[in-house]
């Protein structure tokens, strides 16, 4: 598959390319990640039969991407886990399973008790300037 059909699909779906944004040097990797995952899905077709087919595919894909798909940059959690407050409990369960696996077969773990990847403390697509983050919303405390 070439990039042209995907570019046309995204244009048809109203995704407008952004080639230059002042003071935002890393927005492209954030926006490209879902599309690479989209293209490499086994069920991604070579071509969509119609706009409606593409829309139906994306309506299935993006909930999967946000609710089920585990993201390496999020400590192998889904974005939904992070945003809905489920991540800490899931991390604790993973840690318990890894500890149990270690105690059952310590010879398999040469580096000691395994620990799940750390959870992110914050996640930004477009991080606001530090002054805004420190000051909080305008009018707070007044």
Q: Is the pLDDT of residue 1 over 70?
A: no
Instruction: Return d(Cα 11, Cα 9) in angstroms, integer.
Output: 5
The pLDDT, as a whole number, for residue 73 is 85
- Per the CB < 8 A criterion, the answer to whether 95 and 89 are in contact is no
Distances from the Cα of 14 to the Cαs of 17, 28, 55, 110, in angstroms?
A: 10, 17, 11, 50
Residue carrying the six token digits 């993201």: 71
All structural domains of the chain with their residue ranges:
3-13+24-135
User: Residue 122: is its pLDDT beyond 50?
Assistant: yes
The model's confidence at residue 19, banded by pLDDT at 50, 70 and 90, is low
| Residue 94: pLDDT band with limits 50, 70, 90 | very high
């Amino acid at each position: 598959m070439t990039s042209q059909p995907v570019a046309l699909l995204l244009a048809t779906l109203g995704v407008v390319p952004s080639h230059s944004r002042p003071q935002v040097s890393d927005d492209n990797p954030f926006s490209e990640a879902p599309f690479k995952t989209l293209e490499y899905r086994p069920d991604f077709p070579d071509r969509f039969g119609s706009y409606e087919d593409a829309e139906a595919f994306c309506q299935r894909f993006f909930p999967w991407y946000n609710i089920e798909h585990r993201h390496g940059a999020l400590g192998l959690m889904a974005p939904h886990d992070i945003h809905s407050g489920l991540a800490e409990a899931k991390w604790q369960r993973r840690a318990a399973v890894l500890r149990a696996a270690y105690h059952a077969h310590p010879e398999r773990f040469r580096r000691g008790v395994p620990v799940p990847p750390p959870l992110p403390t914050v996640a930004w697509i477009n991080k606001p300037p530090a002054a805004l983050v420190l000051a909080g919303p305008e009018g707070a405390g007044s």
